[in-house]
Homo-oligomer: A and B are copies of this chain.
Amino acid sequence: MLRNEVSKKLGIDIETIRFYEKENLISKPERLENGYRSYSKENLVELKFIQHCRSLGVSIEEVRTLKDIQNLSTDCSQANLIIEKNLDLIEQKIEDLKNLRVQLKSLSESCFKTGAAKDCGIVKSLAQAAQGEDCVCHS
């Protein structure tokens, strides 16, 4: 299978596939006589593995570890650790984003859409915060 076909089939960008190869995340595909890469079924499985992990927010380095576990390890503790770590990370991110949302909403609501910058709560709050004064977003 040529890379364009693989790309379309899996929905992974051509350059991304090349990137994964450069990172040694997949075994090097065979080459045809003309030098073109020919992706094997195994290559496709490897690519899907990465794609699936990435869709779960697992980092490239962690994908590497998970691959090794599949191939070498008889023990799943490290895999479990990766999932738990990412779970914690995501909980934290959600919390942070929720706080951010509250702040941005306050700002948003302080703009009365009159159009005049000097009456705008957003513009005002940003200027005030820069002076060390109060702002609607951090109160």
A79 at the interface (CB under 8 A from B): yes
Contacts of A74 in B (CB 8 A): 116-118
The 7 closest A-B pairs by CB, nearest first: A76-B120, A49-B130, A52-B129, A76-B117, A48-B130, A87-B104, A80-B111
Given contacts A74-B117, A76-B116, 18 further A-B contacts (CB under 8 A): A45-B130, A48-B132, A49-B126, A52-B126, A52-B138, A56-B100, A56-B104, A57-B100, A57-B104, A74-B116, A76-B117, A76-B119, A79-B122, A79-B126, A87-B105, A90-B101, A94-B94, A94-B97
Q: Contacts A49-B129, A131-B45 known; A84 to B70 CB distance under 8 Å? A: no
Tell me, in angstroms, the Cα distance from A119 to B55 when the chains sit together.
23
Which residues of A come within 8 Å of B, CB atoms? 45-46, 48-49, 52-53, 56-57, 66, 69-70, 73-77, 79-80, 83-84, 86-87, 90-91, 93-94, 97-98, 100-101, 103-105, 107-108, 111, 113, 115-120, 122-123, 126-127, 129-132, 135, 137-138
Contacts of A70 in B (CB 8 A): 117, 123, 126-127
6 A–B pairs (Cβ distance < 8 Å), ordered by A: A45-B131, A49-B126, A52-B135, A76-B122, A80-B111, A97-B97
